[in-house]
A and B are shown apart, each in its own frame.
Chain A
Amino acid sequence: MTIQQPNTFRGGPDERGHFGIYGGRFVAETLMPLILDLEKAYTDAKSDPAFQKEMDGYLTHYVGRPSPLYFAERMTQHLRGAKIYFKREELNHTGAHKVNNVLGQLMVARRMGKKRIIAETGAGMHGVATATMCARFGLDCVVYMGAVDVERQKPNVFRMKMLGAEVRPVQSGSKTLKDAMNEALRDWVTNVADTFYCIGTVAGPHPYPMMVRDFQCIIGRETREQLMEAEGRLPDSLIACIGGGSNAMGLFHPFLDDKEIEIYGVEAAGHGLKSGKHAASVAGGRPGVLHGNRTYLLMSDDGQINEAHSISAGLDYPGIGPEHAWLNDVGRVKFLSATDDEAVAAFQLCSKLEGIIPALEPAHALARVLDLAPQKPKDHLMVVNLSGRGDKDLASVADYLGTKGG
């Protein structure tokens, strides 16, 4: 299959929410009127200077932006190749990039007069960000979280409760992120009149993939400015982990039309791509329809969705944002993967070399940095999105190393 190269990689989606064949609005009729309302409310907000000004204020004084672009000197020396920069999204309030999106969506929800917010969460970072902003804005907050994830991300469950959110463990299916999203959609369809669904990644029915991307693009825009200041030029490569892909899209999107820049997305390979126990939907899946959009999904030959596996609860999802699916097909983003073992090794190395304990999610990106960076010349500028901090993962990693005898 040959695909016509577009004039711009930043032009999507079309008015029906499509990125090539991906995206769309595959939802029950009950939700459709609301999704059309949301699209209108978001379009209005986007063109309202007062909305942007208010958001900028929160981003500066509440979230703590801009996040630093940090030269990872010891990791660079260790790998003896590319000059490595970390975009420090883990320093944001709530400890990850998730808050950028939640702030934007909840400001839209307030414009729409919605008083009750629901969210799904995997690792709990989106849940914590949602609970935090709901506390700040005085909104009711219900977070759906797979029962398996509730168990492996206990500190975040406690944080959400402390912030006044109700955490509802989801017992259906694989009891992870995909099931939390099913349950959130069921809540939404039931409470459609007063409820706003704050989706945590660049997936779901249009306009979510576009809207979440727009709110996350601040990561890439800052990176452009900061690297220009530090090095006087743009980066040579970008790399980020991909579950649904919001941190990656936020970093990548402002650079998509700088065609000389190499862009890498890293999926979770779990026990290995051949094991069948992984969460790499591009590497191991095919196009299908779930949760409101068409995208790459892990599934059986009968179109039944397979359970994903990853040590990282935030990547443990059998799909990927539709714009990433398109960027893969047109060849603009190269998709790689990293196993649980590789991610844990990178987690340890980053902690020891840089004094930064990364979340297990960006540890997947770091795992590929470990082999990409040494292949590059010393003047190659590589930016990796350090999308979250690893405090929440300490127990998981300790367990993992314990059972591995490490």
Chain B
Amino acid sequence: MTTRIDRRFAALKAEGRAALVTFLTAGDPDFETSLAITRALPKAGADVIELGVPFTDPMADGPAIQAAGLRALHAGQTLRKTLEMVRDFRKSDDATPLVLMGYYNPIYIYGVNRFLVDAKAVGVDGLIVVDLPPEEDDELCVPALKSGLNFIRLATPTTDDKRLPAVLNNTSGFVYYVSITGITGSAAPDTVKVANAVARIKRHTKLPVAVGFGVKTAVHARAIAAGADGVVVGSALVEAVKGSLDKDNKATSRTIKTVTDLVAALAEGVRAARRVAAE
């Protein structure tokens, strides 16, 4: 069974370039603006969309994404509304892969089975759940795979060769390589080290490898894209949202354009790192 994620990465491989994966928090700064931004992302150059599910206690996230989650929660965002947002997005876009990223508790409380049925129905393609390592696969990973969703696992610098097979087992769609030991939005990773790490992971899997955590600029995205199948940009986009808001954290006329301009610049960077299709 191929999914939107599989098809997109296969198509980009044929084009000989890496994917730009954009992360934004669903409902930041409010439902309508967030939906409008999400709808504008593919045209601006996003190849895969990650929507963050807001959580009060995001223990793997830095200050930028923590604040975005709180803005969304204050504006009334819930997991149910995030699923509605995906459904609305799918009305105008049936091709762009969309992944929900977050923490387990909101899904657990929504009810795992009900969540999987609803997520599949609205057009979610994959899940990234930060606090579910392979040791807890029975919780959500295995049921998600059974229901036809991709379960995208994080591999990190602390995931050594001995552990990699356990992490890659039950992973589908792509592998998300966390380029640093740290939280989102930290210092930029060393591109040589990242390329080596991606090569190491690729020795263990045929899945595409996307790299994230700390990628902020088009130049940097280009450097990472040269050695990976995808580049994830999150905190920089979330900061762009924040920078466009008024003093009460409300959206302004600049908000959507600020984000899409940055996405376009990042996409240009990623596309400039064109690789040989036969690689």
Chain A residues with a Cβ under 8 A of chain B: 16, 24-34, 172-173, 178-179, 182, 185-186, 189-193, 288-292, 297, 299, 301-305
Contact = CB atoms under 8 A, between A and B. Distances in A.
Contacts of B79: 302-303
A182 B59 contact: yes
A301 B56 contact: no
A217 B177 CA distance: 41
B163 interface: yes
Contacts of A172: 63, 66
A92 to B, nearest CB: 31
B106 A302 contact: yes
A28 B55 contact: no
B136 A192 contact: no
Contacts of A31: 158
B279 interface: no
Contacts of A299: 105, 109
Given A303-B79, A303-B105, A303-B107, A26 B132 contact: yes
Contact of B182 (A189, A290, A301, A304): A189
Among all A-B residue pairs, the 6 with the closest Cβ atoms? A303-B109, A303-B106, A190-B182, A30-B156, A302-B78, A185-B59
Given A25-B135, A33-B160, A193-B181, 5 more contacts: A16-B135, A29-B133, A172-B63, A186-B60, A186-B62
Interface string B144-186: 0000000001111111100100010000000000100111001
Contact of B153 (A27, A29, A33, A292): A29
A305 B56 contact: yes
A189 B104 contact: no
A289 B140 CA distance: 13
B131 interface: yes
B142 to A, nearest CB: 15
Contacts of A289: 103-105, 108, 131
Interface in B22-74: 54-60, 62-63, 66, 73
Interface of B: 54-60, 62-63, 66, 73, 78-80, 103-110, 130-136, 153-160, 163, 167, 178, 181-183, 186
30 contacts: A24-B135, A25-B136, A26-B132, A26-B133, A27-B131, A27-B133, A29-B155, A29-B156, A29-B158, A29-B159, A29-B167, A30-B60, A30-B156, A30-B158, A30-B178, A30-B182, A32-B133, A32-B158, A33-B159, A33-B163, A34-B158, A182-B57, A185-B59, A189-B60, A189-B182, A189-B183, A289-B105, A299-B105, A303-B108, A305-B56
Contacts of B163: 32-33
Contacts of A29: 133, 153-156, 158-159, 167, 178
Nearest to B155: A29
Contacts of B134: 32
Given A186-B59, A302-B79, A305-B56, A26 B131 contact: yes
A182 B132 CA distance: 16
Contacts of B136: 24-26
A186 B181 CA distance: 10
B105 A288 contact: yes
B188 to A, nearest CB: 14
A106 to B, nearest CB: 22
Of B58, B132, B135, most buried by chain A (CB within 10 Å of CB) is B135
A304 B183 contact: no
B106 A304 contact: yes
A182 B130 CA distance: 14
A181 B66 CA distance: 15
A13 to B, nearest CB: 13
A178 B56 CA distance: 11
Contact of A302 (B109, B131, B132, B182): B109
A179 B59 CA distance: 9
Given A192-B158, A193-B181, A28 B60 contact: yes
A178 B135 CA distance: 24
Contacts of B156: 28-30
Nearest to B54: A304
B106 A186 contact: no
Contacts of B56: 173, 304-305
A32 B57 contact: no
Contacts of A297: 105
A28 B57 contact: no
A32 B78 CA distance: 29
Of B59, B108, B136, most buried by chain A (CB within 10 Å of CB) is B59
Of A27, A29, A31, A185, most buried by chain B (CB within 10 Å of CB) is A29
A362 B55 CA distance: 32
Nearest to B77: A302
Nearest to B167: A29
Nearest to A191: B181
A29 B160 CA distance: 11
Of B63, B106, B131, B134, most buried by chain A (CB within 10 Å of CB) is B131
Contact of A33 (B58, B66, B130, B158): B158
B250 to A, nearest CB: 21
Of B66, B106, B154, most buried by chain A (CB within 10 Å of CB) is B106
